[in-house]
Amino acid sequence: MKNLKPTEAHAFLGTTVRPHPSPSASHCGPLAALFHDADSPRASDEELAWYGARLPRDAGTILEPMSGSGRMLVPLLDAGFSVHGVDVSEPKLASCAARLASACRDTQLFRQDITALNLPFRYCAAFIAGGSFQLLTGRHAAIDVLLRIRAHLIDPGLLLLALSIPDQAEHPPGAAVIEVRHVMLADGTQLACRSERVVDVQKRRIRTQSRYERRERSRIVAREDETIIMTWYDEEQITTLLGDAGYRDVRIETHATTGDDARHFAVSARASA
């Protein structure tokens, strides 16, 4: 298959793209993409093994909505799976395309807001990793995405979602939580991220405002601001959501991802015939 550049994916075979993402989608700028690539360049072996044990290998091509920079997509291609990626962020798709080229891999990439997902292919399975599904903060947006993914699935029609419930959901901080992190890029420049996180338990939302700064020695050469809003679902809520979107055989599973700041789990379901 031809490996599409992110800009080429806009008009490929009738796919639809919103030039500006809706509030239900997370748009990542170039500095944020660089930071997250350096901070988390590749999925862990445990996470890859978890997906590798569940995704159908020989039933056809798999779809990864919200695929980002290819943290999961590229290693799964290396493992022999056929996977297409979709993301709304052009910097992340550019990063993914660069990773594919570096790994001598080739696949389809699409730039779309997944609330308007419309691809020219059908898939045997789909998965959203890393809790990215929780960037869809409204119920209507979440249902729309689940319905659009289901419309692209054929037998066996498996969907996997990785989710988490932050500890702050039960023990919200009394004030905004501030965190400062740094990463070093390959060219020797430093990227800093200062984030301020506010938890709204009543609305089940976490609002994180981040400022990214690229520094050469002590001089700031680039700056970027980003606001991300995330929600969370418990097991009963996600089961109901999937059922309302027409999925069956919904099962809650233990996920390979662990952490001290959240309770991680996964859900599997199948698209109804």
Backbone angles phi, psi at 144, to 5 degrees: -55, -45
Report the alpha-carbon distance of residue 163 to residue 238 in Å, rounded: 9
The per-residue pLDDT for 22 is 41
Q: Is the distance from CB of 211 to CB of 222 less than 8 angstroms? A: no
Q: What is the pLDDT along the chain (273 residues), one digit of tens a residue?
A: 333 333 333 333 322 333 333 434 456 889 999 998 888 888 899 999 999 999 999 999 999 999 999 999 999 999 999 999 999 999 999 999 999 999 999 999 999 999 999 999 999 999 999 999 999 999 999 999 999 999 999 999 999 999 999 888 877 887 888 999 999 888 888 999 999 999 999 999 999 999 999 988 888 999 999 999 999 999 999 999 999 999 999 999 988 877 668 899 999 999 976
The per-residue pLDDT for 26 is 54
| CB-based burial label for 217 (10 Å; 0-12, 13-18, 19+) | exposed
Q: Is the distance from CB of 74 to CB of 96 less than 8 angstroms? A: yes
Q: Give the number of C-alpha atoms closer than 13 A to the C-alpha of residue 136, restricted to the C-beta side.
A: 24
Report the alpha-carbon distance of residue 67 to residue 51 in Å, rounded: 14
In the chain, what is the greatest distance between 2 CA atoms, to the nearest angstrom? 59
79 strand-pairing partners: none
Q: Terminus-to-terminus CA distance in the chain, angstroms?
A: 29
